[in-house]
Amino acid sequence: MLAEALVLSAILFVIGTTGVLIRRNAIIMFLCVELQLNAVNLSFVALSQYIGIEGQVFVFFIMTVAAAEAAVGLAIIISIFRHYETVNVDNFNLLKW
């Protein structure tokens, strides 16, 4: 089951990357980043079957960091929305030359 799980993990990661690159809605892009994190979690769990329980401990930490990241990221999106009245990333061009 290891090879299949790693293939599934790669597929989910690529779908997540595509989502981040083709969407303009900041919240959906953020959701796709969560998808990438989950794809990596899946490969950690699959490998932890063979290598030891430490992989699962690591996934536990990743989930905690993802929760913290979601809270702060969504706060930033709310703060940007107050300023621009939109979450379309094409409008956030202040740092673009």
Partner 1 sequence: MVDILFFVFAATAVGGALGVVLQKNPVSSLLFMVGTLASLAGLFVLMEAHFLAAIQVIVYAGAIMVLFLFVIMLLNLGHDYRDDLKTGLGMFTAFAAAGALAGVLVSQLRGVEETPLAQHFPGPDALDQLLAEQGIIGAIAHPLFTDYVVAFELVGILLLVALVGAIVIAKRRV
* Backbone CA torsion sign across 25, 27, 33, 35: negative
Length of the chain: 97
Query: What is the token pair recorded at 77?
Result: 């999106």
C-alpha 61/C-alpha 80 separation (Å) is 28
* Residues facing 25 on adjacent strands: 88
* Residue numbers 14-73 binding partner 1 by CB under 8 A: 14-19, 21-25, 27-28, 30-32, 34-35, 38, 41-42, 45-46, 48-54, 56-57, 59-61, 63-72
Instruction: Tell the smallest beta-carbon distance from residue 84 to partner 1 (Å).
Output: 11
Return residues touching partner 1 (CB under 8 A): 1-8, 10-19, 21-25, 27-28, 30-32, 34-35, 38, 41-42, 45-46, 48-54, 56-57, 59-61, 63-72, 74-79, 81-82, 87-88
